[in-house]
Amino acid sequence: MQRLTTLRGKTERWSALERRVDDVAELVELVQLESGDHTELEEDLSKQLTEITADLDAGEFELMLDRPYADHGAVVTVTAGAGGVDAQDWTEMVTRMYLRWAERKGFKAELVDSTEGEEAGFKNSTIEIDGPYVYGYMLSERGSHRLVRLSPFDSAHRRQTSFAAVEVLPALKEAIPEIVIDPKDVRIDIFRATGAGGQNVNKVSSAVRMTHLPTGIVVTCQNERSQLQNREVALHILQARLLDLELRKREEEQARLRGDPVAAGFGNRDRSYVLHPYSAVKDERSGYETTDALGVLDGDLDPFMEAYLRSLMRA
């Protein structure tokens, strides 16, 4: 019933937009047929057309988000790749970029797990962002992110290229019937949390590591205050990763049936951030680029997200 209500709402918005277009078209025809001064009416028609165009763009963008679980929140994992300490520092920068994006959008975001690097940054981090259509927006972020800059960790201050991998999963607050986790298939390890946190950090064993034996998927959570909370968050993330695995299989099967190369998945697409010798960010998939690299790192990601979604519509 919820799905039916949602679909009815969507179709009614398009029907209402169609009626508005027909009304404006009739008025335009009347203006063309009748003589006299129609300045006031023409101004009103111009205003209506501007509003219709804006509503059309918004509706088109909503269609681009019409993917499975697109209306859910997202669990975003960032993992350091090649580049040593610079890659770990880059991983922390990417994590902050998504936290700033969520803040700009008014979404709730929480760092649910992180492993600090030996010298700086994160080896990996996991954040959960809660808001409407966050997963749909964040699909543009999956893949490899490359940074080119003068290394602050190199005594010679040479140019360094670093990589971070971003994984995006739908945040699941409810059970998904198609994903059933057998308790016998999950090994749970409890250990002592590390890093910043509440009073229990480094005092009691509250961190949780879940290993799904059939797939080898490992999920850890240590940033909540209690073991029970960490268990719940880890279980949600494990279910989300299993769902993501199933969705990827479906995408690959659909690509195979269409005759598309299966390799054209999210994993081999990336975005490049250049801070030296010039400032630029370019998404290799959509072709969108900007010279405001610092703005992007401060969370100005909407243009990249929209360009990526539009590129999917064209594909």
pLDDT in tens, 58-103: 787 777 777 778 888 999 999 999 899 999 999 999 999 999 999 9
Average model confidence (pLDDT) across the chain: 84
Q: Is the pLDDT score of 285 beyond 50?
A: yes
**Contact (CB, 8 A) for 181 and 239:** yes
Structure tokens at 92: 């922390």
Residue 293: half-sphere exposure toward Cβ, Cα within 13 Å: 18
Do 170 and 290 belong together in one domain?
yes
Check residues 50 and 265 and name the one with the higher pLDDT: 50
User: Taking 90 as the threshold, does the pLDDT of residue 27 lie above it?
Assistant: no
CATH number, position 136:
3.30.70.1660
- State the pLDDT at residue 230: 85
* H or E segment to which residue 128 belongs: strand 122-130
Contact 293, 281 (CB under 8 A): yes
Give the per-residue pLDDT at 252. 73
My answer on whether 15 and 90 are in the same domain is no
Q: What is the pLDDT of residues 176-198, one digit of tens each?
A: 667 778 889 999 988 877 654 44
207-218-84-286 Cα dihedral, nearest 10 degrees = -120
User: 58 and 80 share a domain?
Assistant: no
- Closest alpha carbon to 75 in 239, 230, 201: 239
* pLDDT, mean of residues 259-277: 63
**150/235 same-domain check:** yes
Q: What is the pLDDT of residue 31?
A: 80
Q: Is the pLDDT of residue 6 over 50?
A: yes
Shared domain check, 212 and 91: yes
- Choosing from 64, 90, 109, the residue where a domain stops is 64
For 123-158, the pLDDT digits (tens) are: 999 999 999 889 999 999 999 999 999 999 988 889
> Of 64, 97, 118, which one is at a domain's C-terminal end?
64
Q: How many structural domains is the chain composed of?
A: 2
Looking at residue 261, its pLDDT comes to: 42
Residues 54 and 128 in one domain: no
pLDDT of 76: 95
Looking at residue 270, what is its pLDDT? Answer: 83
b/e code 265-286 from CB counts within 10 Å (16+ = b) = ebeebbbbbbbeeeeebbbebb
pLDDT value, residue 194: 65
Same domain, 118 and 265: yes
Give per-residue pLDDT as tens, 229-255: 888 888 888 888 888 888 878 777 666
pLDDT at 250: 75
State which of 64, 88, 110 marks the end of a domain: 64
Q: Are residues 284 and 301 in the same domain?
A: yes
Do 154 and 236 fall within a single domain? yes
If asked whether residues 123 and 237 sit together in one domain, one would say yes
Containing structural domain, residue 148:
70-315
Q: What is the three-class DSSP state of 144?
A: strand
Q: State yes or no: pLDDT of 17 exceeds 60.
A: yes
Same domain, 20 and 145: no
Instruction: Clarify whether residues 280 and 155 are in a common domain.
Output: yes
Q: Kindly state the DSSP code that residue 26 receives in the 8-state scheme.
A: H
